[in-house]
Amino acid sequence: MATKGPRDEKSSLERFAAGLQEFYVAPYRRSFARARRDEDDLFMLLVFAETLGVPNPAACYTMELMPVLYERFHDWHRRMGMERSPLDHIGCC
């Protein structure tokens, strides 16, 4: 008959903690995902504000982030209700 060592007890505690984490987070997972998406959309708007015609005092700083966000631009403008890309120089559609 094998007895459990301290390592097995620790893994049991870790599994119990993971179960508790899942129990408490699971009902709010969709809310967390929506809040994160809203923050990402706002950040995308801030980065592309100058190209959309909205004056942006931090445009010189956000311009450096544009190449990083180009991959997600199509999903963003579709989520914002724009069928086609509002920018002439970005032909994602």
Give CA–CA dist 81/84, Å, rounded: 9
* pLDDT digits (tens), the chain, 93 positions: 555 565 566 789 999 999 999 999 999 999 999 999 999 999 998 998 888 888 888 888 888 888 888 888 888 888 888 888 887 777 777
CA-wise closest residue to 92 among 53, 48, 37, 34: 48
Domain ranges for the chain: 26-92
Instruction: Say what the pTM is.
Output: 0.64
pLDDT at 7: 59
Give CA–CA dist 83/90, Å, rounded: 14
